[in-house]
Amino acid sequence: MCYNIFGDCMELLSNTLRPNKLDEVIGQTHLIGEGKILSNMVKNKKIFSFILYGKPGIGKTSIATAIVNELKSMHRFLNATINNKKDFDIVIEEAKMNGEIILIIDEIHRMNKDKQDILLPYIESGLITLIGLTTSNPYHKINPAIRSRVQIFELHELTIDDIVTGLKRGCKKLENIKIDEEALKYIALLSSGDFRSALNLLEVSYYSTKEDKTINIDLVKEINSKPVFFHDKNEDGHYDVLSAFQKSIRGSDVDASIHYLSRLLEAGDLDSIYRRMSVIAYEDIGLANPSIGPKVMAAIHASELIGLPEASIPLGVVVTEMALSPKSNSAYLAINNALNDIHAGNIGNVPNHIKTSSTTYKYPHDYKNDWVNQEYLPSNLKGRKYYYNKKNKYEDNINKLYNEMKGGN
């Protein structure tokens, strides 16, 4: 139960279903289950500091809660935004008295430097075992000093089947509920992978029914009219639309590009749009129009400032230009070729003359056209070619200049 100024209120369904054990967690089978990383840690009664990241409502807090419950360990929950420096000091003192503590920090990407500096030596010593929770990519948002002391686990998006399974568990907590598979699946589709959102919609639907507690798809539509048009019967529709969006831009079909952008916008899926546009700018357009990358970032920034529905304007402008732009994947292929060498162990030693301590390095700016003939690749990769230019105006021009620079020596 909870209490507020209006008196007693019922605990939310999403809270009553919070898992007590890892095997009660919905989805995340790459980390949880027989022989999987997190389950093995709990089984061995030993966990190490780690960060869980992923979209809202996919199990970050549930996993952290289940772990500390199963281990029966002393633990504390803090929020990097809400809790102040004094709260962190208290946890450290508790850890010293107890010998160790598990500290779960929500929104860890927002933890400022002062709080990080306080925690670092205790995470290093093992006095505090950190479980960080974040919706932001920790490789971009988390201080490197913290990152180097933790493992990072990405949580996968929940499938429609995952969410329907969870909803059925929720139904067992709602007395006399009557709901069919169609309504359950529709609620799951509306949630866009957020299990907490799905449970909340189920609960609202339950308390919006007549006395017979029957929930059907029409009732759910009355409560939430958000369109679910990008999913298909195979439940791959969301990714199919994203795929069609990229392939339409790559194929220079401006009308199809705008069509699929509109479907994603109508679903409110800005994050997926941003990520996919950023990939397209560098994978498919690349050196044929190198100005498109900054333009995409500017459009994303503008969209974040103004929000929906107006975000469609800058996004529509830049997607139109992306579709109409010349295309080149030469740089994308070049980095893949180089990575294939690295993965195959084709690395070699850095040549002596370009090492930090070298006295034989030839400084290109001391030579005509700022170029001098010297080897830069490891000796075992001498002559290896990764980049092959495509025929477009920009690459033709920079390759012409490059050849002139070399030819003048």
Show the domain range for 193.
160-223
Asked if residue 309 has a cis previous peptide bond (ω within 30° of 0), the answer is yes
Statement to judge: residues 312 and 352 lie in one domain: no
Domain boundary among 223, 249, 271: 223
CATH classification of the domain holding 250: 1.20.272.10
Report strand pairing: 178-179 vs 214-215.
parallel
**pLDDT on residue 231:** 41
The one-letter amino acid at 64: A
**Residue 335's CATH number:** 1.10.3710.10
pLDDT value for 228: 53
Question: How many other CB atoms are there within 10 angstroms of residue 53's CB atom?
Answer: 21
Q: Which residue has the tokens 């992978």?
A: 193
Nearest-CA neighbor of 183 among 162, 193, 168?
168
C-alpha angle 91-97-103 in degrees, rounded to nearest 5: 30
E runs forming strands in 222-354: none
| pLDDT score for 4 | 38
Q: Which residue has the tokens 């990764």?
A: 386
The pTM for the full model equals 0.60
Residues 276 and 401 in one domain: no
d(CA 153, CA 147): 12
Last residue within a domain, chosen from 324, 355, 374: 324
The torsion angles phi and psi of 193, rounded to 5 degrees, stand at 90, 0
Residues 145 and 20 grouped into a single domain: yes
**pLDDT for residue 112:** 84
Both 78 and 97 in one domain: the answer is yes
**Residue among 170, 124, 176 at smallest CA distance from 150:** 124
Q: How far is CA 275 from the centre of its chain?
A: 9
CATH code of the domain containing 109: 3.40.50.300
pLDDT the model gives residue 235: 42
Sign of CA pseudo-dihedral 302, 261, 233, 207: positive
What would the two tokens of residue 61 be?
A: 């807090």
Q: Are strands 2-4 and 7-9 parallel, antiparallel or unpaired?
A: antiparallel
Does the residue 108 lie in any domain? yes
As given in the structure block, the two tokens for residue 152 are 């990072």
The phi-psi region of residue 317 (left if phi > 0; otherwise alpha if psi is between -120 and 50; otherwise beta) is alpha
24 with 124, same domain: the answer is yes
DSSP 101: E
pLDDT at 68: 94
Same domain for 126 and 27, yes or no, is yes
Among 168, 194, 223, residue at a domain's last position: 223
What's the number of domains the chain is made of? 4
Asked whether residue 41 falls in the same domain as residue 123, the answer is: yes
Whether residue 145 is contained in a domain is answered as: yes
Rounded alpha-carbon distances, angstroms, from residue 11 to 1, 169, 222: 5, 16, 24
3-class DSSP assignment, residue 53: strand
Q: What is the pLDDT, as a whole number, of residue 280?
A: 97
**Structure tokens belonging to residue 169:** 């568990």
126/242 same-domain check = no
Let me know whether 7 and 62 are in one domain. Answer: yes
Place of tokens 């200049």: 401
For residue 217, is it within any domain? Answer: yes
228 falls within a domain: no
CATH number of the domain that 183 lies in? Answer: 1.10.8.60
231 found inside a domain: no
43 assigned to some structural domain: yes
Residues 11 and 149 in one domain: yes
* Total number of residues shown for the chain: 409
For residues 133 and 79, what is the distance between their CA atoms, to the nearest angstrom?
Answer: 9
The verdict on 44 and 133 lying in the same domain is yes
Residue 229 in domain: no
Does residue 232 lie in a domain region? no
Per residue of the chain (409 residues), give pLDDT as tens.
343 333 444 567 877 888 889 989 999 999 999 999 999 999 999 999 999 998 888 999 999 999 999 999 899 999 998 999 899 999 999 999 999 999 999 999 888 888 888 899 999 999 999 999 998 878 777 878 888 889 999 999 888 899 999 999 989 888 888 898 888 998 988 887 888 889 999 999 888 887 778 888 888 888 886 655 444 434 446 678 888 999 999 999 999 999 999 988 887 778 889 999 999 999 999 999 999 999 999 999 999 999 888 999 999 999 999 999 999 999 999 999 999 999 988 898 999 999 998 999 999 999 888 888 999 999 999 999 999 988 888 888 888 888 888 875 5
Together in a domain, 42 and 118: yes
